A and B are shown apart, each in its own frame.
Chain A
Amino acid sequence: MSALEQHKINSPFKADEGYFNEFFRRVQSRVGITPEDLTQLSTPVQSSQEKPVKLQYTAQLKVEFGQARPAKYEEDTRVEEPKPLKKMGKENIEKIEIAPIQVEPNPTPAWRNFAAEWSQESEETTETLEPTGEVISSPLVQEVEHVEAEKTPEIQPVSTFQPVPMSVIPNEQELARLKSELEKQEQYSRVESSSAPTLQPAFAPITGSNRKQILMNSLGAVASLVAIFAAYFIWQGIQRPVTIDEYVDTSLASRGIGPVATPVVQAVAAEVSVSAALVNTILEEEALVDMGKPSNVISIEGLSTKGQRAAKALESYDLCVFDDPNPFFEESIF
């Protein structure tokens, strides 16, 4: 265990209880709940006596660039200190009022009475076929028809239905009349729905955007292909330039031809070395020729008679050159 762990050093930070009480209240007020003191939480709370508190949510209309999150709550209520505080920024909060929703009748007649259309479709799909090919309506269809005849429509048709005043409790006659009117209305809606167009109008506003989407998708695919080709050409362009030798080697290798045979290269090198040696020899000989007076010439000056005779003997054996301008000396020896 290290020294730091053996002798633990505590944290130097120590905030007092007053700060935490004040922090507790500040957080509650920022969040929008009724602030209570920290001391009150020590006792059990009677939840049955609590009133449901409505949370105040306010929306921010202005979006200020640089804020970490949208401001929903009240401004920070911390007491200001002499030093400038580092805050997230002033939060502008405004209340918005939502206008009550006003329901307007559906202006598009083709969309009315979906219930009738769906009931007709369900009738068509529940018809079963006998093996002989005759169409026989199933008991389920009859039950559905019966139920739908009794059920009042949820969507009121626009045109011909006559509203019945409901202030008076209807008697049997009125009930029958109501029933007949309902049946007429259902027949009318079936006739209407048979001539009504199919489900296309529900999707009509979206069709234009479908074409647009397809066009955008195709443009995107074309752009990606162009980008791929461009990247390929750029990659080729930034490759290291190939030297001529490498190009020759690779092209020859691709044709199955190996590199040039080394003996030819060696023979050429040998020729070069021989010619170089000859040149060197010639140069050395020229240097020798240019050496000046040969070193084996013996001059008569300073030589005694005996020395002269010895030099003459050497000369007879071609070992030196005796430099004697006196021709009579030769005759005196021999």
Chain B
Amino acid sequence: MSAQAHSTSLQNPNWGAMSDSDLVLAFKQSNHKEPAFREVIRRYQKVVYYHVRHLLLSHDDADDAAQNTFIRIWENLEDFRGESQLKSWIYRISTNEALNVLRKRKPNIDFDEAQPEMADHLSEPTYMNEQGMEKQLQKALCYLPYKQKLVFVLRYFEDLDYELIGELTNTSVGALKSSYHHAVKKLEIYLKVLR
């Protein structure tokens, strides 16, 4: 969008119809910072909440991580250079905030290993449908190494394409496909066992 067209659109902005890149540009202008940020929250709060909830399972932890994510966005969006997509950047922040919450609970956590004890959080009924198969899958996910779980969650539940996941995790598409394939195989076995 040209500078003139951009300034015209900001005089009467329709925040809901604005693209992510325009939203970032609007945020960098002091008189549009707050409405732009509100639009960012509106657009991404559910995405962020469900993403960290899949990783942390507990509603309270997910709420903390999601709030911290948006505070980080408020602090750092001005410095966002647009080298990656805004969505990928927000996902990366939310993943890191989820990791921070886990590290606080378990300082020496090894993310290359599974954390089956996290399945205890599935007993909390907060904002959760008590469907058997869905809960079983979440329990089985606790038996995957954290990194593999992350790839599975991003691909299976959030329908991100491999290129975006690769951007987020700094991993090649081939490695991601292989990781996802192995995760699916393991989960099928775990689901059979857990039945």
Contacts and interface: CB of A to CB of B under 8 A. Distances in A.
Interface string A44-69: 11111010110000000000000010
A76 B71 CA distance: 12
Contacts of B104: 68, 86, 88
Interface stretch (A11-19, A170-178, A263-271, A284-292): A11-19
Contacts of B105: 86
Given A23-B45, A23-B66, A28-B38, A11 B188 contact: no
A78 B42 CA distance: 18
Given A34-B34, A47-B32, A47-B35, A13 B188 contact: no
Contacts of A48: 11
25 contacts: A2-B185, A4-B184, A11-B50, A11-B157, A12-B128, A12-B134, A12-B135, A14-B128, A23-B45, A23-B66, A27-B45, A30-B67, A31-B37, A33-B34, A33-B38, A38-B42, A41-B16, A41-B38, A45-B15, A47-B10, A47-B11, A47-B31, A52-B30, A76-B67, A78-B63
Contacts of A10: 131, 134
Interface of A: 2-5, 8-16, 19-20, 23-24, 26-28, 30-31, 33-34, 36, 38, 41-42, 44-48, 50, 52-53, 68, 73, 76, 78, 81, 83, 85-88
For chain B, what secondary structure do more than half of its interface residues adopt (helix, strand, loop), or is it mixed?
Answer: helix
B106 interface: no
B162 interface: no
Interface residues of B, number: 55
B134 A27 contact: no
Contacts, number: 122
Interface string B165-176: 000000000000
A2 B184 contact: yes
Interface of B: 10-16, 30-32, 34-35, 37-39, 41-42, 45-46, 49-50, 53-54, 59-61, 63-64, 66-68, 70-71, 74, 100-101, 104-105, 127-131, 133-135, 137-138, 156-157, 184-185, 187-188, 191
From A5, A8, A11, residue with most partner B Cβ within 10 Å: A11
A47 B66 CA distance: 28
Contacts of A73: 71
A47 B71 CA distance: 24
